[in-house]
Amino acid sequence: MLKEVKVKALVLDKNHNTPVVILGMDNNPMVLPIWIGSCEAMALSLALENADFPRPLTHDLLINTIEALDAQVSKVVIDSLRENTYYAKLVIKDLAYSDLEDDPSAMIEIDCRPSDAIVIATKKHIPIYTSDEIMLEGGIKLNETSQKEDEKEFKKFVENMHIEDFRDYFRDIQNQNKSEKKKEGNGGEKDS
Amino acid sequence: MLKEVKVKALVLDKNHNTPVVILGMDNNPMVLPIWIGSCEAMALSLALENADFPRPLTHDLLINTIEALDAQVSKVVIDSLRENTYYAKLVIKDLAYSDLEDDPSAMIEIDCRPSDAIVIATKKHIPIYTSDEIMLEGGIKLNETSQKEDEKEFKKFVENMHIEDFRDYFRDIQNQNKSEKKKEGNGGEKDS
């Protein structure tokens, strides 16, 4: 059965120097951590902060393209965990085909990584779903006294990390231009 | 008038520690350098290397989504340079609307950054165009004896840089997972 989850945190796993997005449900101690890449984490960080850029970032281009093709993003589903890798689907509604609310025949599912799904969901305020099976297999109960050393370590870093630490990790990349320049260093230009 | 350009190099401007994509034409000494962000450069680097990943990267998701919506990418155009920033358009053909070759009424233009346009063009082997005006304003003649010190410096770094240096710059990011993991460090997992 699918359950709606929300982004609880974007943190840095210091042991592996890898960003981790933490998904969770309201009134439930289980969280689902997903280890993601640096650039994917930066895109998510900017989406979570609702950062405004003068030019469309890649996920903005994806959303704008979907809308230009008379479709809209409807929801995202993290629906599979195989060989330690999470799989997700971006669910798009083709408005040219049907404008009925929740018409299943108008829904198109596109295979994607969880990070792309979560960035799009964050930007467009659409729900993120996952299954009980995935929460059971990949989830961690934050308030539980764990017997496993690695879970204890994980709990420790989740409890101690927050987006500011993450941003420090990314300062260099964050400072990169998001508008693409003719030439830098001629004076008067700012990172945007 | 629009002219087709190709990616001549992806290099690192060491003075600003910023990646630069160099576009050029066959049999023409003029090149067009565009300063881009780190993550955008990594996506382009992977596209230029034709790197294969088990999971779709963000630009793959964009292309797959366009094709799932019965459309296809047709060409990209770097069509404007305003206040030192380049603007581009992704041109998509809506096959549901018309399957005639080059039917202008089926073409949809989406505003984007040059880097996204160039990554998509590289992945899908579609042409990249720009205008004479942009080549004149932003282009640099590599074989010309330049009076300007900054152009001399630029020529020097273009002549001395190549993709291997660029990859060194990116080694840390390149080593990040492109599949999104349940948990790292449990043994047996490889970066993919």
Domains of chain A (ranges; CATH) run 2-185 (3.10.690.10)
A81 in contact with B at a CB cutoff of 8 Å? yes
| Confidence grade of residue B142 (pLDDT, cut at 50, 70, 90) | confident
**Count of H helices and E strands in chain A?**
7, 8
**What is the DSSP track for A57-79?**
-HHHHHHHHHHHTTEEEEEEEEE
Question: For residues B8 and B182, which has the higher predicted lDDT (pLDDT)?
Answer: B8
- HSE at residue A134, side-chain half, CA atoms within 13 A, is 29
Q: pLDDT over 90 for what percent of chain A?
A: 52
Phi, psi (5° rounding) for residue A176?
Answer: -65, 155
pLDDT at position B144 is 53
Among A94-98, B80-84, B102-106, the range with the most confident prediction by mean pLDDT is B80-84
Question: Is the confidence at residue A145, as pLDDT, over 50?
Answer: no
Least confident stretch, A156-160, B21-25, B54-58, B110-114:
A156-160
Task: Give the closest of A59, A108, A177 to B68, CB-based.
Answer: A108
Residues on chain A touching B18 (C-beta within 8 angstroms): 176-177, 184
Residues on chain B touching A177 (C-beta within 8 angstroms): 18, 35-37
pLDDT tens track for B25-83: 988 889 999 999 989 999 999 999 898 889 999 999 999 999 999 999 999 999 999 99
Question: For residues B165 and B24, which has the higher predicted lDDT (pLDDT)?
Answer: B24
Question: Is the confidence at residue A56, as pLDDT, over 70?
Answer: yes
A25-to-A47, A79, A154 alpha-carbon distances in Å: 20, 16, 18
The chain A residue lying nearest B178, using CA atoms, is A37
Q: What is the ipTM of this complex?
A: 0.83
Helix B114-124 to helix B38-48 angle (10° resolution) is 10
| Confidence grade of residue B157 (pLDDT, cut at 50, 70, 90) | low
Phi, psi (5° rounding) for residue B93?
Answer: -105, 120
Reported pTM: 0.83
Q: For A84-95, what is the mean pLDDT?
A: 95
CA dihedral of residues B119, B120, B125, B126 (deg, nearest 10): -120
A16 in contact with B at a CB cutoff of 8 Å? yes
Question: For residues B110 and B12, which has the higher predicted lDDT (pLDDT)?
Answer: B110
- Separation of alpha carbons A36 and A42, rounded Å: 10
Q: pLDDT over 90 for what percent of chain B?
A: 52
- Separation of alpha carbons A78 and A139, rounded Å: 13
A189-to-A179, A182, A185, B65 alpha-carbon distances in Å: 11, 10, 7, 35
Question: Is the confidence at residue B129, as pLDDT, over 90?
Answer: yes
Interface of B with A in 108-127 (CB under 8 A): 108, 110-116
Which distant-in-sequence residues (6+ apart) come within 8 Å of A180 by Cβ? Answer: A55, B34, B35, B36, B37, B40, B85, B86, B113, B114, B115
pLDDT tens track for A20-44: 999 999 888 899 999 999 899 999 9
